Amino acid sequence: MYAKRFARPGLAVIITALPACDNVSFGGIQLELRPPEVTEEAAVPGSPSPDASGEEEPTLEPVDIGDLIYIVERGEGSSATILPIARVTPDGYEPVPDPEEIPDLVERFALGRWEAGVEFPLVAHGRRVGTFVSDGTTVEDDSTCRIRPRGTGHVELAPEAAVLDRLLATEPSSAPVREPWTPLARFAADEDLRAGSLNIAQRLIPTLGVLWPPSIPEARRDLQPFASTPGDASGFAASYIYGDRLAVGPTNPRAYSLFVLATAGESRYEPLMTWVQLAPDGKAYPRFVGSHALRDSIASDVVLEVFGETERWFTVLGVEDEEWSALYLDECGQAPARSGIRTFDPPGSNN
């Protein structure tokens, strides 16, 4: 016979609710009950996260510093960066605040200003020529003599604007869309423009009391179309350098730069203004970035990037009381030489 096997009766155990972190013993087994830990992944979305001290991190607020003028510099393909140059006010231009003046300026700069997808009008000669689309990125930029916020994104340009590596950008709400843009491609390759820039240098350099360059075409380091009034691209901006480069770096006592804004006259190009900078007065060699009617709808102000011995900076030139002068200068930059900026009467004037 086989012996019958009977199942043992089950042991009923009732565990009542216990306070958190209580120790409970069952025979030789000791249990410790704890509440579940809340991981970062399990936190409520959008809730502030405490720092190591248990305090919540403050929420960053947008910084309101008014309208700005920007330089957009193109990179590979359609990629580009955007850098604020100065604030545009009814009274002129003021510096962009320094990060030491506004806490968290770089981190806050994108908020409400160039968040991902925000579009900035790109302008040249008083007309819109394209769009800069921000990707929302902001970093600290030290490529100029002062710290600025720098954003990244891509550009969408009119076909004719593909010849431009640097453009001006305005705030999204402040740039009007005008009639189709006058193409610049023909000016970039216009032999008449090149010949005019050589002719004007041959006429001006002897009046400066400086050394004659071995070759004016080699001394001409930059040549770009210029509009003395919005929509007009009949003039040019040219930089001539003797004994140096149009770049940041050491110079020599005999070096100088000549910057010219010229417009077309009846039979030849005529200067509107010149800026002569001799090395002994401090290296400050300008290059044209763009012109735009920033303060009013009639006269175009001129934005320049200027190269010194150790830094580069920005300057804005414009006409006040019928004289060209520096309306804005990065405070860390070298000022134009005394009497270095000269105003000429426009062609056809009776003065």
Residue-by-residue pLDDT tens, the chain, 351 positions: 434 343 444 444 444 444 444 554 445 555 555 555 545 444 444 445 555 555 666 678 888 888 899 999 999 999 999 999 999 988 889 999 888 888 788 888 888 888 899 999 998 876 788 999 999 999 999 999 999 999 999 999 988 788 889 999 998 865 555 545 555 544 555 788 889 999 999 999 999 989 999 999 999 999 988 876 655 557 899 999 999 999 999 999 999 999 999 988 888 899 999 999 999 999 999 999 998 877 665 568 899 999 999 999 999 999 888 899 999 999 999 999 988 999 998 776 665
Please indicate, yes or no, whether residues 231 and 317 belong to a single structural domain of this protein.
yes
**b/e burial code for range 111-135 (CB count within 10 A of at least 16 → b):** eebbeeebebbbbbbbbbbbbbbbe
137 with 217, same domain?
A: no
User: According to the model, what pLDDT value does residue 180 have?
Assistant: 53
Domain boundary among 136, 170, 204: 170
Domain membership of residue 36 (yes or no) is no
Same domain, 157 and 302: no
| Predicted pLDDT at 205 | 95
For residue 254, is it within any domain? yes
Judgement on whether residues 156 and 207 belong to the same structural domain of the protein: no
Domain annotation covers residue 333: yes
Report the pLDDT value the prediction gives residue 158, as an integer from 0 to 100: 86
Same domain? 190 vs 338? yes
199 domain residue, yes or no: yes
Residue range(s) defining the domain that contains residue 95: 68-170
Same domain, 96 and 130: yes
Instruction: For residue 309, tell me if it sits in a domain.
Output: yes
Residues 145 and 201 in one domain: no
Are both 75 and 212 inside the same structural domain?
no
Total of domains in the chain: 2
Which pLDDT score is estimated for 125? 72
Q: Are residues 261 and 123 in the same domain?
A: no
The domain boundary, picked from 170, 198, 215, lies at 170
pLDDT of amino acid 162: 83
Q: Does 115 share its domain with 218?
A: no
Provide the whole-model pTM.
0.78
> Does a structural domain hold residue 13?
no
Would residue 48 count as lying in a domain? no
- Say if 25 falls within a structural domain: no
